[in-house]
Chain A
Amino acid sequence: MKARKRPTLILAIYFQTSGFGFVLLEYQLSPVDWGAPEVRGHDRAKRCLRQIDSLLTLHTPDVLVLQDTTRRGTHRAPRIEALNHQTLQLAKQRGVPVRTYSRPQVREYFEEFGATTKQRIAEIVAQHTPALALYVPPPRKPWKSEDARMGIFEAAALAWTYLRSSAGAPPF
């Protein structure tokens, strides 16, 4: 008996100050899992990696999408650059292909939709992925730090950029 082919699972992770945001997409616009676990305190890099490891075990994605934090890519804090690199190594150990995109690449893609700010990108993603609409944070006040939920949309934006670059067309 022929078994039905399992869809491609794309896991995108975006690191932020207090943890990371992630989205697991199945097909182009249907998220299976998402979240922004907050990881604070000392040892947070180790704990972040442990959580990512369990995500990789649980979902066994076909591809992992990360931010490009190399010299050619986006400049981030050294802690985040190291974490990004460790995640890349972890995925390689597990045989999961990794794709990386810099912030200018993501921004360039979303400019097509007239979205140039993080908030606007989050709104565009939520517009096309209603399941995530509940998680769009309110516009950030200048005196407030960024909402952790923004990490979900940063990760989704990376996944969309991957889909665009692999398919050559927008994901809808």
Chain B
Amino acid sequence: MNVRRPINYLRSYRLRWGLSQKELAYLLGWDRPDIISRIERKQRSPTLQLAMACYILFDTPSAELFPDISAGIEQVVMARVQEMYETIQGDPSRRTKKKIELFEDAIARADQRKRAPIT
């Protein structure tokens, strides 16, 4: 059975702009191209430094460049948001009200992202 592996668009962006792995590694702050090759082959996850460097170079947020990683993180965070949201209900303190406000916002944003057409 085929196992779906996370998709990433690093290679698409690199090819679109005619960059070699060596050139991209250099531009993103690495000396050797292995890191680019491994990320493109989905053998390792991008580091925060690489994700930010990609954003600076391609003007593309990491959620767009690495959608499956982003979706996985979102799933974990939102599950915990939902859990904490349920737990703190009924507490009248001002701090709790602030937290509820944040969680409701986060839930609304997550719903909006799910409804948004994928372009």
Contact = CB atoms under 8 A, between A and B. Distances in A.
Contact of A95 (B2, B9, B78): B2
A60 B4 contact: yes
Secondary structure class of chain B's binding surface, majority of residues: loop
Interface string B1-40: 1111101010110011010000000000000000000000
A20 interface: no
Nearest to A95: B2
A7 B4 contact: no
A1 B12 contact: no
Interface in A29-79: 31-35, 58-60
Interface residues of B, number: 20
A94 interface: yes
A32 B3 CA distance: 18
B114 interface: yes
Contacts of B2: 60, 94-96
Contacts, number: 41
A4 interface: yes
A26 B64 CA distance: 14
A82 interface: no
Interface residues of A, number: 20
B66 to A, nearest CB: 13
A6 B78 contact: no
A149 to B, nearest CB: 12
Given A6-B4, A58-B5, A131 B15 contact: yes
A26 B11 CA distance: 14
7 contacts: A6-B7, A32-B11, A58-B5, A60-B5, A95-B2, A131-B12, A134-B18
Interface of B: 1-5, 7, 9, 11-12, 15-16, 18, 41-42, 71, 75, 78-79, 114, 118
